Chain A
Amino acid sequence: MKNYWRRKFHLWIDQRLVSSHEVVLKQKNIYILPSVYGFLMAAIVILVLIAATNYQNNLAFLTGFVLISIGFLSMFYTFRNLAGLVLNAGGCSPVFAGETASFIVSLSSVKPLGHYSVGVGTSKAALHYFDMEPGTEYRVEVPQATTKRGWLTFSRVLCASRFPFGTFRVFSWQKLDARCLVYPRPIQPDDAVLARVGQGEGDSRERPGVEDYWGHRGYRPGDSKRQIDWKAYAKEQGLHSREFVESAGSSWMFRLDDFAHVDRELALSWLCYLVVHAERSNQVYGLELTGIRIDQGRGDEHLARCLQALALHP
């Protein structure tokens, strides 16, 4: 029953919400409901008023009335704690499918007031609470699970608070305009598969992945930062790059067509593994997907380009 209404509410709110890069929480998009504790307080107040009537006890009446007044005022206070909060969608670094994407949400305020014990998250059960003093900002990483490659849009964000009196729950669902690139889940292909890798263009059939240290050579622009021998640099011996045995000769061209016999997603996962591994082993590699060809290269940028192509492959 409860879930039914929750689903209905979420459907309704999804229709209402327009995703935008920045949201200011205000009257229009904040909801306020009495909490369970608010109902408990109401019950106590009724009890007090009945007792007051029965005993004709005016001090008991005063207690009941002051509690009613505070109850209504606490609505304002709870609302004010959330109103004026500004949510800004920050970036989200790409992740591999199966990992948790974490969207950065930066929070600030248009009011000169602080916002206390506010929770931000994708659901009521997964709220990250924080205090925000007046005039300060706060950054929250909102985690979101990933299952498949491609663009992951930021789901609804819940902003909720019970501060200061717990009698009311104030909350706001927002859609922030942010997305996260999800790479395919890297899966290590077995040996039989590896045997077909790079056919045609690769000039070496060695299996990638064995990191044998070969020796130093002078630094050339374009060398990966990882190759630089920082120990030598620290000893003021100048910049040198370390060389690995395969890196000189191995170059790869991974093709989706090589794995045409298996499921597309599995093939992409294998390719993802191969690309990442090649980069780690400082090999030169390229990628050929249906309609896309990335020439051989190396480096973080190259890797990112390859992974993005894999992630967004139709």
Chain B
Amino acid sequence: MRGYQARDFQASPVTGDPLLSLDRPGVIPALLLSQLVVLLPLLFYLPSWISFTVCAVLMWRLLAARQVLPLPPRWLLVLLTLAAATAVFLYFGTISGREAGVSLVAIMFSLKLLEARHYRDALLIISVSFFVMVTGFLFNQSWLMGAYLLAAVFVILACLVVVNSLRGLTGLKSMMQMSGTVLLLAIPLMMVLFVFFPRLPGPLWRLPTGQSAGSGISDQIAPGDIASLHLSDEVAFRVSFDDGAPPGNGQYWRGLVMTDFDGLAWRPGRDEAVISAPPVVAGEGLVNYEVTLEPHRQRWLFLLEKPLTGPPAARRYGDLTWQTLRPVREKLKYRASSINSLVTDPAISPGELERNLALPGSGNDRARNWARDLRSRHDNDQELVEEILSTINREEFYYTLQPPVLEEDIIDSFWFGSRRGFCEHYASALAFLVRAAGIPARLVAGYQGGEYNPYGDYWIFRQSDAHAWTEVYLAGKGWRRVDPTAAIAPFRVEQDLLTDQNRRDHWLDDMIGGQDLLELPEGVWQKLRLSLDTIDAYWDRWVLSFDNETQNGLLRALGFEQPDLRLLIWLMCGGFLLVLGVAGIGLFRRRPEGDAIARSYRVFCRKLAKSGFEKQLAEGPADFVRRVIAERPELAGRIVPVNRLYIRLRYQTEAARPEDIRRLREQVRQLNL
């Protein structure tokens, strides 16, 4: 019957949905790219064999797409998956911890593309990639990671457009444009949600997190053990003062008070009393400040000397230190105040007196005798302490970060032997000697110094600012700070420790092999570092530490007396829809292209007007240009082609092509009369 067809009929090539196949050009590379983008930050935190496996799997898929290697059969995939899970379990001993869990997710995620054959696999990979991205934030939440998030979302969206597009990769530029604009529009919406999304306080459940030793201050001071103190530039905490830093040089930030000495190490007292009543307040110089504490996995908080109030969620102890209930595992922001002339109740309980006078039963006999001898010469406690300080200053005491290891009677061997050490040596020696002389004394560990960041108006305290000093109890006056390290004669401080500047500018020299490859004016690196730290601090303040407390504070500042959940939801939905509406109007009210031609011509006329040629209303474009050329023939070469293009685009019957419109705009823009 074929012969009877009235005409030749060709069936439309409908063979199912072409969009459901992954064979379109660029689809597999797009999926690979979106996987790579989210796995990349993880590779820095996972064991190297995991990273290697992930890279190998991705490479396999790439080679398969280029027909170099075949795709693995299903049984091999199952085998690989099981092997990977087993390997992760054997390596970590668990599959539920942070590292183990993320490792498993990373491997499974990369293997998924090896079996992707359908559109739904592609979309599964892309949506899961966002989740994998989030697992990376368990390791790193810096602002760089935030910037990377936006870049990754941009790339993944572009890949998503490729997967959903009939042409595959051919329209890459317009697809990137699309994902770029959608991301730009999404950012304000994201901000609305970030500010108003109801935040629940506290975790819903806890997962075991990997233990890593916190550097900086530990809960004991054992001066004899340390042969070399490593100074780390790591930030311990940042402080911004409400009304500028307190006057005077060198801020002392108390963290931990140590009263118990066993002959080798100082430790915090066992029975610290929790007190709730504020100490007696007198005098002036109240300082309010906000501290952003980096996680140190300990409970103690740092407050400026003579603290008055601390964060409400922490406990205040009798020795005027504050501790949280749980170790600080995430960045913690708290407000506190100190008072320069704080007068505490000079009374001291008998138990406390006893603890602050206690010495080990034996050992360090020379030091004890020396102190007793001093006592016999000085009745006044304060004079006695000053005498010890002047001994340090007068005699051959050195400040060094590489002290010799002390054995047995460490106070004796330091005070009469090596005479080299850093703050811990001096503070513990002073405390020992003072106690031996019958005056209560204790050690304080904390930070001292700090660096001011003028770009962000805050102070940075690094691990290298960690310090230990002594507090001495003077009858009738209370506890007084005595910093024996400050008494060392400046010329006996190791030269490169004199300024922070020196120390910090040296690391770069070390990095580039100690040669002056890069000679920059002094302080450039410091400035750069401070600027980066400013970004860090703002990121901390406005993004990372934003929680339901900050949210409530913000709402109160906006004038809502009692922010509650319902208000938040109203604000969130209202704000979101408002911004979404504006975005929608922007998307649908696009000026027609015809206007672009007229706009370009208006610019053209404006440029001619500046050279003194005003277009008359009754004048056509051709006549106008003819009049211009008649007066200034030298312009003809520049304006005639533009005018010709305009006339063609304006008066031709078919619609102007977009590239012609662009060409006109470009020519007008470059026109220089």
Contacts and interface: CB of A to CB of B under 8 A. Distances in A.
A48 B131 contact: yes
Contacts of A54: 203-205
Nearest to B658: A134
Given A61-B194, A127-B14, A165-B161, A117 B543 contact: no
A163 interface: yes
Contact of A69 (B166, B186, B205, B592): B186
A62 B190 contact: yes
Contacts of B405: none
A276 B134 CA distance: 71
Nearest to B179: A164
- Which of A61, A63, A183 is packed against the most chain B CB atoms within 10 Å? A63
A177 B592 CA distance: 30
A70 B543 contact: no
Interface string A53-68: 1111111111101111
B289 to A, nearest CB: 23
Interface in B136-174: 137-138, 141, 145-146, 149-150, 153, 157, 160-161, 163-167, 171
B166 A102 contact: no
A39 B429 CA distance: 68
B9 A95 contact: yes
B200 interface: yes
B12 A163 contact: no
B663 to A, nearest CB: 15
Interface stretch (B67-75, B87-95, B490-498, B580-588): B580-588
A166 B164 contact: yes
Given A59-B141, A59-B146, A128-B12, A44 B131 contact: yes
Contacts of A56: 202-203, 330, 547
A42 to B, nearest CB: 9
Contacts of B656: 135
A80 interface: yes
A126 interface: yes
B658 A116 contact: no
Contact of A130 (B166, B588, B657): B166
A99 B1 CA distance: 11
Nearest to B124: A40
Nearest to B3: A280
B137 A63 contact: yes
A127 B13 CA distance: 10
A135 B14 contact: no
B199 interface: yes
Contact of A70 (B11, B120, B182, B658): B182
B178 A47 contact: no
B9 A99 contact: yes
Chief secondary structure at chain B's binding surface: helix
B166 A116 contact: yes
A164 B163 CA distance: 9
Given A48-B131, A54-B203, A62-B190, A143 B11 contact: yes
A143 B166 contact: no
Contact of A186 (B1, B9, B576): B1
B6 A77 contact: no
A93 B587 contact: no
Given A117-B165, A135-B655, A40 B127 contact: yes
Contact of A37 (B1, B123, B544, B655): B123
B590 interface: yes
Nearest to A113: B590
- Which of A56, A77, A273, A307 is packed against the most chain B CB atoms within 10 Å? A56
Nearest to B143: A59
Interface string A12-53: 000000000000000000000000110011001001101111
A119 interface: yes
Contacts of A57: 134, 137-138, 141
B44 to A, nearest CB: 16
Contacts of A127: 14, 17
B588 A60 contact: no
B141 A165 contact: no
A183 B6 CA distance: 10
B127 A44 contact: yes
Given A56-B330, A65-B194, A95-B9, 7 more contacts: A74-B182, A117-B167, A135-B593, A165-B157, A165-B182, A166-B163, A276-B4
18 contacts: A48-B134, A57-B137, A57-B141, A58-B194, A59-B146, A62-B194, A65-B189, A65-B190, A66-B150, A66-B153, A73-B182, A80-B588, A100-B11, A116-B166, A125-B16, A128-B14, A129-B18, A186-B1
Interface of A: 36-37, 40-41, 44, 47-48, 50-63, 65-70, 72-74, 76-77, 80, 83, 93-96, 99-100, 102, 111-113, 116-117, 119, 121, 125-131, 134-135, 140-143, 162-166, 183, 186, 273, 276, 280, 307
Interface of B: 1, 3-7, 9, 11-14, 16-19, 120, 123-124, 127-128, 130-131, 133-134, 137-138, 141, 145-146, 149-150, 153, 157, 160-161, 163-167, 171, 175, 178, 182-183, 185-187, 189-190, 193-194, 197, 199-200, 202-205, 330, 543-547, 576, 580, 583-584, 587-588, 590, 592-593, 655-658
Nearest 8 A-B pairs (CB), nearest first? A69-B189, A69-B186, A65-B193, A59-B137, A117-B166, A65-B190, A37-B123, A166-B164
